[in-house]
Structure 1
């Protein structure tokens, strides 16, 4: 446990929150822009004295339950929650995929029901899918370990390629590798670095593409081809909506109106209603 770092992190997050961020009135006499200690303590369900000792820093090591309560009270992102647990001396907690979705993307995502949509991180970890996306591509939230990341599955699990026609596989591999390189350049010692190291050892195909140093393999505006077990081949655009602050994006799949794929998607939608 790093008490000094934990204290500084918790205090900084408290001061960054506004009362309206957590549903509290600002009030005419409030001077500080952030939350008060007693407000955070109430939101976390702990005593003011206990919370104050975390910030000072002194007192006992917080339990995992206390850290979880703090994470909720301070409205931490999943990355901030992981950091909080590490500072508190605990391993990164298992993630509830759905809870990691940014508020901005969640508001848009929850309004979509007639098109396939999912939210994923910049590394290709799917956090949540709507029923139509689940019916289209399967459950991408079920994976664990490095298999959570699409690029890792692409080069290590043959079933990950079943969604795309065989002739499109070379391009897809380059796209996934280029996207990974962008994330790796931003943080080579983080998760991206772990994925790269594992793939360089596990896949000669990945190693060959990695040596190309590609970072701009155009794909977002393409009409892509997909394969479905019962509907056959589909042609769809995949439109990304980015949330840079949370390193996430929502992918919405759409067919050309009136096209054969559009009709097939309507058939698929009827099976999940």
Structure 2
């Protein structure tokens, strides 16, 4: 059980729920946003002293019943609820993150000739990709292993503006940090994830601000607009699919509407890749 992280999570999520959200009167001026501790305790059916001890990081090990009650009181989504259980030590221990990529997955992405595809691990390291993904993202083959990290690229790379508009970058950065927070909960003992978070907190104020929000949401599908210098703007659906029996790996596909300008742009990019 990670008492300090659990305490932080409860405090931050409490601040994001207003009395009106849960059918309570505002009750005059409030010094801080969100619910009061007493209101959370009341909604969860527990004593105020018990809840205060949880928020102070000195409470007992909460039962599954208590965690479910807190999740309802704080209006947590599915991913946030799972994260709460991870922090309280109630979820099954996650397997150690492995370095290998299954051969079947490598074969699959190589067969997807008209779809940019890559394999991403839990800490956002790119582990494998097909030629079209390399062409779309640019320069993957020439990077060192520790440079092929999407989190570092989004928050630290000076050339990201060439690929994403400000609004697109902001939306993706927020989703990536919320997803990384979920991964940190699923893999509490992974030092590589911990080291990445420590590094980014020191180097990127934007990352630090998003991390402090304590948003938790696993990436599954997201619309993206990517600008490529050779073929222009591509509107794609970024599909993120878990790899069976490997919750440390995910397959990421960029798909476009058949016959659309974006679909034609990807085909043009593939032709450029084959001719180079």
Same fold per superposition (TM over 0.5): yes
SS of 1:233's partner is strand
Cα distance between partner residues in 1 of 2:192 and 2:258: 39
Cα distance between partner residues in 2 of 1:176 and 1:213: 12
Q: 1:80 to 1:223 in 2, by over 3 A?
A: closer
Structure 1, residues 191-248: CA drift from partner, whole Å, max 9, x if none? Answer: 111111111111111111111101127x643331111112121101112232153311
Q: 1:242 to 1:220 in 2, by over 3 A?
A: closer
Cα distance between partner residues in 2 of 1:145 and 1:134: 14
Cα distance between partner residues in 2 of 1:172 and 1:120: 15
Q: Higher relative contact order by CA 8 Å / sep ≥ 6: 1 or 2?
A: 2
Cα distance between partner residues in 2 of 1:249 and 1:80: 13
Cα distance between partner residues in 2 of 1:109 and 1:257: 19
Q: 1:148 to 1:135 in 2, by over 3 A?
A: closer
Query: How far did 1:132 drift?
Result: 1.4
1:261 matched to 2:262: yes
Paired residues of 1:117 and 1:250 also in contact (CA < 8 A): yes
Gaps of 5+ in 1: 1-77, 82-99
Cα distance between partner residues in 1 of 2:129 and 2:243: 17
Query: How far did 1:257 drift?
Result: 0.9
Structure 1, residues 34-61: CA drift from partner, whole Å, max 9, x if none? Answer: xxxxxxxxxxxxxxxxxxxxxxxxxxxx
Paired residues of 1:127 and 1:141 also in contact (CA < 8 A): no
Q: 1:196 to 1:161 in 2, by over 3 A?
A: farther
* Aligned residue runs from structure 1 range 203-218, under 5 A: 203-216=204-217
Give the TM-score of the pair, scaled to structure 1. Answer: 0.58
Q: 1:120 to 1:222 in 2, by over 3 A?
A: closer
* Aligned residue runs from structure 1 range 226-265, under 5 A: 226-246=226-246, 247-265=248-266
Q: Which residue of 2 aligns with 1:119?
A: 119
Cα distance between partner residues in 2 of 1:221 and 1:243: 15
1:164 matched to 2:164: yes
Q: Which residue of 2 aligns with 1:221?
A: 221
Cα distance between partner residues in 2 of 1:145 and 1:106: 17
Paired residues of 1:102 and 1:248 also in contact (CA < 8 A): no
* Aligned residue runs from structure 1 range 118-197, under 5 A: 118-140=118-140, 142-144=142-144, 146-189=146-189, 190-197=191-198
Q: Which residue of 2 aligns with 1:11?
A: none
Cα distance between partner residues in 2 of 1:122 and 1:244: 14
Paired residues of 2:163 and 2:228 also in contact (CA < 8 A): yes
Q: 1:261 to 1:197 in 2, by over 3 A?
A: same
Give the TM-score of the pair, scaled to structure 2. Answer: 0.58
Q: Which residue of 2 aligns with 1:271?
A: 272
Of residues 237-246 and 114-123 in structure 1, the stretch that sits farther from structure 2 once superposed is 237-246
Q: 1:197 to 1:80 in 2, by over 3 A?
A: closer
Query: How far did 1:157 drift?
Result: 1.9
